[in-house]
Chain A
Amino acid sequence: MIRNSAAEMAAKLNAGDITSVELTQLHLDRIASVDTDVHAFLYVNNEGALAQAAEVDAKRAAGEKLSPLAGVPLALKDVMTQKGVPTTCGSKILEGWRPPYDSTVVTNLKKNGIVILGKTNMDEFAMGSSTENSAYGPTHNPWDLSRIPGGSGGGSSAALAAFEAPLAIGTDTGGSIRQPAAVTGTVGVKPTYGGVSRFGLVAFSSSLDQAGPCARTVLDAALLHEAIAGHDPKDSTSINAPVPQVVAAAKSGDVKGMKIGVVKELNGEGYQSGVRSRFEESLELLAAAGAEIVEVSAPNFEYALAAYYLIAPSECSSNLARFDAMRYGLRVGDVDGASAESVMNLTREVGFGREVKRRIILGTYALSSGYYDAYYGSAQKVRTLITQDFNNAFEKCDVMVSPTCPTTAFKIGEKSNDPIAMYLNDIATIPVNMAGIGGMSLPAGLAPEDGLPVGFQIMAPAMQDDRMYLVGAALEAALLSKWGAPLLSKIPALAGA
């Protein structure tokens, strides 16, 4: 049962084959059994999840009309506030904080009857590509427990791959939904910026952060996408327009006549051979399904990484200033005679990890007077150029595609002392955030050389998120018929299972 897709689970709930309480309990049991090895969860809300499930069951029994995913469980990235449930963002500085309010995403999940199992692990404040930067220890990739599950949303992707949850919420600032999806053989979507409310998403980089759906199939992602998306008056940057018809697109999967643009700059050198061969194979399958493959160029993408590492740290240096021990979270050094300033300093010293401090310092420097124009100002100009690259390319194609990341999952510890190597992991995902458009990663198979999952990235123009789902569904269907079973059926069994 737990290996079903969310859509299949929903059908069984509807048919009365299983109750939501039973389904939720199965997942809670699975978590209890395997999560000591995987460490996808920071907090499991047994009672809350079962109570929510019971409520859905009661409504179903009463004959109420329920939304498509009602009663299906989900794992929530620990960067989203949920009233009364600990929210740490993977940081010591928020240890013990229980938010007094629900994020809009959580409000929408609850409204749709989606059962929230608990909070998943992440790189501290979503800064990282491996979940090694969590203050609460790394998450392990269910494909190979010695490897990283991607980051920052490694807890969510690992929970999906380990069958601890059929659905998860991620957030993507530079690839934190898509890269974990790629390295765990799951599906992750970063919607158009403003498509899903950021209210209650603890900010890392406000102009780049975007919450989105994580799942094991394209259709599941689409169902979750529609459940959480839509205009929110509490988020000034939320788009006030109808949500693209992503479920219809995921059900259709018709790519006949679509032009698919392969980004010349996001391929070739620096990309693992198995990543490239799986990518080429996917292109052939899409061509066979009736799409036209064209090459497009995005000459400014090479500056994206550098610009990102100015903009994101700049915004984070300001966003994280509120963690000052005055109102919530950790407080260190509050002894008689200590000044507010020394308490702030000590708390931040103890409460923030190395990567977070690195980025706060980087961002503070980039915003300083005298350096602003050279750093933050130039980075914003690059951002405009990247958007222009996308606009030009989208004149020639309907979606753009690339490998999601240059390599398969690396070993835990392999890159933790080399920030630049770690940053390079996001080279193909970052341009999407810089332009505020949508991006999806879905499994393209296993790399022959290491047997690990490879991700295929689809990028669509702003507010045309449905196009990603069309192409994703087409590729997923072609691969499924080639393999005969979903990719995750090949995942090694976990000891606890």
Chain B
Amino acid sequence: MALTYDEVMAKYEPVLGLEVHVELNTNSKMFCGCSTIFGAEPNTQTCPVCLALPGALPTVNEVAIESTIKIGLALNCSIAPFSRFARKNYFYPDMPKNFQISQYDEPICVNGYVDVEIETDEGPKVFRIEIERVHMEEDTGKSLHVGGATGRIHGAEYSLLDYNRAGIPLVEIVTKIVPGTGKYAPEVAKAYVAELRDILRSLGVSDVKMEQGSLRCDANVSLRLIGVETLGTRSETKNVNSLRSVERAIRGEMIRHAELLNKGERVVQETRHFQEDTGLTRSGRSKEQAEDYRYFPEPDLVPVAPDAAWIETLRAALPERPSIHRKRLQEAWAVPEKEMAAMINADVLNIVEATVTLGADPVKARSWWLGEISRIANDKDVAIANLPITPSDVAEIVALVSAGELTDKLARQVIEGVIAGEGKPAAVIAARGIKVVNDDGALMAAIEKVCAEQPETAEKIRNGHLPAAGALIGAVMKETKGQADAARVRTLLLSHLGQGE
């Protein structure tokens, strides 16, 4: 009999622990000059160093160190004046050296925190997630196990190895244990990963794409009876590839643990794999026998000793915290929460902000990016940022509309032209001959022509049936090839038919 979440919460308190791996977006790998571009032919982005050929030696990518320090600073960590790389020794075919260069007891950033705000029964509440460490390491290659039923190495007929990913810089961000979240544990975990993703994106150090694996979350959770101090046995869930999955995985694990504990069984300390389709996890590698990685300081690399002044320069150049930034924009623009969320989800907040900075009205800027331009991006199935239209183009269009030189309808044509590669807004307007007809004489001629063509409708309006005006306005707009200002047409039409306000 499956327990409900409320039944779990009546008896147990969850304790979280989150480990996030972030692929940095450096041009070259962590310890060699190979390219990091995603999706190249297998084994084309390799060299003696990342293939671990005998005699090859690693050298540290300075940009990766800088990115890691920025991450540490943004997460309120102390930056160690002296830190070291260590070797984590274990055998696996996709690990070229059969050790991973990582950091062990001397990580580069320690003791930070991230505050996340979530909606609770008592209103918005801030939870502080303490960060234990942020350290650097290298990614492994990729194995493709062919022929087995499970896609795992056991039972596979053969395995293919691609070392393009071997040596891609990774940063691991590890929280301390997170107690005290109560029933909000799944939401807090999700909010934390979301906040982390936003911070990393604002720093520009990673693509932070969970679905592509450039941001991976291992979600640890354990339960203990309410009021008990001792920690329960945790499970570690991998393969959590979206924010929603973080929440689902933790909720699912909490229920699974509670069911075991209620039956008097014990939770096995193990790695579990999240299944996107069922929302459940399946058992992976047991961690009952702690694996002995025989860590020792990496003798091929000198310690990392960042200059204190350099750290301060990096600190001074940190961008505003995304959550604070959002709050500030929301207040300045007077945007409702829902619209703010819509902009964040559509990933247009920065573009809208840039457009507003160029003088556009926030409401107008938002509606163009979120409306027409988002629609085109969806149709073309490309990211909005990759469309060939810039904040300055949109700011220019907004300005033309408010100056009365474009109507909304014409503005859409201009946007379409810019995206189609016809040039900047001014060029599109010139080339397409787009202009608002605001010569009353020309409009009156069109109005008279339309009234003559549709005398019955005109008569209805004369008799005070104003809703009929729409049809004639439409006809006038058609007559003027859409270049008229519809509001002006209405005024002129009504006054022509004796209904002037």
Distance to closest chain B CB from A40 (angstroms): 22
Tell me if A101 is interfacial: C-beta within 8 Å of chain B: yes
Residues of chain A contacted by B63 (CB below 8 angstroms) = none
Tell me if B98 is interfacial: C-beta within 8 Å of chain A: yes
For B97, give its contact among A234, A314, A321, A368 (CB under 8 Å): A321
11 contacts between A and B (CB under 8 A): A87-B55, A97-B54, A99-B48, A200-B55, A318-B99, A322-B52, A327-B53, A340-B153, A369-B290, A372-B296, A376-B296
Q: Quick one: CB contact mask for B59-101 with A, threshold 8 Å, 1 for yes?
A: 1100000000000000000000000000101010100111100
Distance between Cα atoms of A223 and B52 in the complex (Å): 32
Distance to closest chain A CB from B196 (angstroms): 30
Tell me if B380 is interfacial: C-beta within 8 Å of chain A: no
Q: A326-B93, A364-B294 known; A201 and B55 CB under 8 Å?
A: yes
Distance between Cα atoms of A101 and B49 in the complex (Å): 11
Distance between Cα atoms of A182 and B300 in the complex (Å): 29
Distance to closest chain A CB from B88 (angstroms): 10
Q: Quick one: CB contact mask for B125-169 with A, threshold 8 Å, 1 for yes?
A: 000000000000000000000000000010000010100000000
Residues of chain B contacted by A80 (CB below 8 angstroms) = 55
Asked whether, in the complex, the Cβ of A321 is within 8 Å of the Cβ of B296, the reply is no
For B89, give its contact among A103, A202, A318, A324 (CB under 8 Å): A318
Distance to closest chain A CB from B162 (angstroms): 12
Asked whether, in the complex, the Cβ of A322 is within 8 Å of the Cβ of B161, the reply is no
Tell me if B292 is interfacial: C-beta within 8 Å of chain A: yes
- Give the residues from 208 to 234 in chain A that come closer than 8 angstroms, CB to CB, to chain B: 233-234
Asked whether, in the complex, the Cβ of A322 is within 8 Å of the Cβ of B98, the reply is yes
Give A329's nearest chain B residue, CB to CB: B54
Interface centre among A207, A322, A328, A364 (most CB of B within 10 A): A322
Residues of chain A contacted by B306 (CB below 8 angstroms) = none
Tell me if A192 is interfacial: C-beta within 8 Å of chain B: no
Asked whether, in the complex, the Cβ of A206 is within 8 Å of the Cβ of B299, the reply is yes
Tell me if B58 is interfacial: C-beta within 8 Å of chain A: yes
Distance between Cα atoms of A327 and B43 in the complex (Å): 12
Distance to closest chain A CB from B167 (angstroms): 14
Distance to closest chain B CB from A233 (angstroms): 7
Asked whether, in the complex, the Cβ of B99 is within 8 Å of the Cβ of A199, the reply is no
Tell me if A29 is interfacial: C-beta within 8 Å of chain B: no
- Give the residues from 354 to 385 in chain A that come closer than 8 angstroms, CB to CB, to chain B: 364, 367-369, 372, 376
Interface centre among A198, A233, A318, A324 (most CB of B within 10 A): A318
Residues of chain A contacted by B254 (CB below 8 angstroms) = none
Asked whether, in the complex, the Cβ of A368 is within 8 Å of the Cβ of B292, the reply is yes
Q: A99-B54, A322-B97, A369-B294 known; A237 and B300 CB under 8 Å?
A: yes
Tell me if A484 is interfacial: C-beta within 8 Å of chain B: no
Tell me if B302 is interfacial: C-beta within 8 Å of chain A: yes
For A99, give its contact among B53, B57, B58, B294 (CB under 8 Å): B53
Tell me if B426 is interfacial: C-beta within 8 Å of chain A: no
Tell me if B365 is interfacial: C-beta within 8 Å of chain A: no
Asked whether, in the complex, the Cβ of B294 is within 8 Å of the Cβ of A328, the reply is no
Tell me if B56 is interfacial: C-beta within 8 Å of chain A: yes
Interface of A is mostly: loop
Q: Quick one: CB contact mask for B290-308 with A, threshold 8 Å, 1 for yes?
A: 1010111001111000000
Asked whether, in the complex, the Cβ of B60 is within 8 Å of the Cβ of A236, the reply is yes
Q: A202-B54, A318-B87 are in contact. List 11 more A-B contacts (CB 8 A).
A: A87-B55, A101-B53, A199-B55, A201-B55, A202-B55, A318-B99, A318-B296, A327-B53, A367-B296, A369-B290, A372-B294
Q: A236-B301, A318-B89, A318-B296 known; A327 and B56 CB under 8 Å?
A: no
Q: A207-B299, A324-B98, A340-B153 known; A100 and B53 CB under 8 Å?
A: yes
Asked whether, in the complex, the Cβ of B59 is within 8 Å of the Cβ of A234, the reply is yes
For A236, give its contact among B55, B59, B296 (CB under 8 Å): B59
Interface centre among A198, A199, A205, A314 (most CB of B within 10 A): A199
Distance to closest chain B CB from A35 (angstroms): 25
Asked whether, in the complex, the Cβ of A81 is within 8 Å of the Cβ of B296, the reply is no
- Give the residues from 183 to 205 in chain A that come closer than 8 angstroms, CB to CB, to chain B: 198-203, 205
Asked whether, in the complex, the Cβ of A321 is within 8 Å of the Cβ of B51, the reply is no
Tell me if A123 is interfacial: C-beta within 8 Å of chain B: no
For B54, give its contact among A235, A322, A340 (CB under 8 Å): A322
- Give the residues from 293 to 329 in chain A that come closer than 8 angstroms, CB to CB, to chain B: 314-315, 317-318, 321-324, 326-328
Distance to closest chain B CB from A218 (angstroms): 29
Residues of chain B contacted by A236 (CB below 8 angstroms) = 57-60, 300-302
Ranked nearest first, the 4 interchain pairs of A and B with the lowest CB-CB distance are A321-B98, A206-B299, A367-B294, A207-B299
Asked whether, in the complex, the Cβ of B299 is within 8 Å of the Cβ of A328, the reply is no
Interface centre among A99, A339, A340 (most CB of B within 10 A): A340
- Give the residues from 264 to 287 in chain B that come closer than 8 angstroms, CB to CB, to chain A: none
Residues of chain A contacted by B300 (CB below 8 angstroms) = 203, 206, 236-237
Interface centre among B55, B87, B93 (most CB of A within 10 A): B55
A-B interface contact total, Cβ < 8 Å: 103
Q: A367-B294, A368-B294 known; A340 and B299 CB under 8 Å?
A: no
Residues of chain A contacted by B161 (CB below 8 angstroms) = 326
Interface centre among B51, B59, B98, B299 (most CB of A within 10 A): B299
Tell me if A75 is interfacial: C-beta within 8 Å of chain B: no
Q: Quick one: CB contact mask for A97-141 with B, threshold 8 Å, 1 for yes?
A: 101110100000000000000000000000000000000000000
Residues of chain B contacted by A205 (CB below 8 angstroms) = 299
For A235, give its contact among B57, B93, B153, B159 (CB under 8 Å): B57
Distance between Cα atoms of A100 and B54 in the complex (Å): 11
Residues of chain B contacted by A100 (CB below 8 angstroms) = 48, 53
Residues of chain B contacted by A322 (CB below 8 angstroms) = 52, 54, 96-98
Asked whether, in the complex, the Cβ of A81 is within 8 Å of the Cβ of B51, the reply is no
- Give the residues from 333 to 355 in chain A that come closer than 8 angstroms, CB to CB, to chain B: 339-341, 344
Give A341's nearest chain B residue, CB to CB: B91
Tell me if A94 is interfacial: C-beta within 8 Å of chain B: yes
Tell me if A89 is interfacial: C-beta within 8 Å of chain B: yes
Distance between Cα atoms of A326 and B160 in the complex (Å): 11
Distance between Cα atoms of A322 and B53 in the complex (Å): 8
Residues of chain A contacted by B54 (CB below 8 angstroms) = 81, 87, 89, 94, 97, 99, 202-203, 322-323, 328
Interface centre among A80, A205, A369 (most CB of B within 10 A): A369
Distance between Cα atoms of A207 and B290 in the complex (Å): 28
Residues of chain B contacted by A341 (CB below 8 angstroms) = 91
Asked whether, in the complex, the Cβ of A321 is within 8 Å of the Cβ of B99, the reply is yes
Distance between Cα atoms of A318 and B98 in the complex (Å): 8
Asked whether, in the complex, the Cβ of B51 is within 8 Å of the Cβ of A327, the reply is yes
Distance between Cα atoms of A376 and B89 in the complex (Å): 15
Distance between Cα atoms of A345 and B102 in the complex (Å): 25
- Give the residues from 294 to 352 in chain B that come closer than 8 angstroms, CB to CB, to chain A: 294-296, 299-302
For A344, give its contact among B48, B91, B153 (CB under 8 Å): B91
Distance between Cα atoms of A326 and B53 in the complex (Å): 11
Asked whether, in the complex, the Cβ of A321 is within 8 Å of the Cβ of B56, the reply is no
Asked whether, in the complex, the Cβ of B55 is within 8 Å of the Cβ of A237, the reply is no
Distance to closest chain A CB from B464 (angstroms): 87
Give A79's nearest chain B residue, CB to CB: B55
Residues of chain A contacted by B93 (CB below 8 angstroms) = 324, 326, 340
Q: A322-B96, A376-B296 known; A327 and B52 CB under 8 Å?
A: yes
Asked whether, in the complex, the Cβ of A99 is within 8 Å of the Cβ of B55, the reply is yes
Asked whether, in the complex, the Cβ of A200 is within 8 Å of the Cβ of B302, the reply is no
Residues of chain A contacted by B96 (CB below 8 angstroms) = 322, 326-327
Give A197's nearest chain B residue, CB to CB: B57
Give B89's nearest chain A residue, CB to CB: A318
Q: Quick one: CB contact mask for A255-288 with B, threshold 8 Å, 1 for yes?
A: 0000000000000000000000000000000000
Residues of chain A contacted by B59 (CB below 8 angstroms) = 233-236
Give B143's nearest chain A residue, CB to CB: A340
Give A199's nearest chain B residue, CB to CB: B57
Distance to closest chain A CB from B305 (angstroms): 13
Distance to closest chain B CB from A294 (angstroms): 34
Distance between Cα atoms of A236 and B93 in the complex (Å): 26
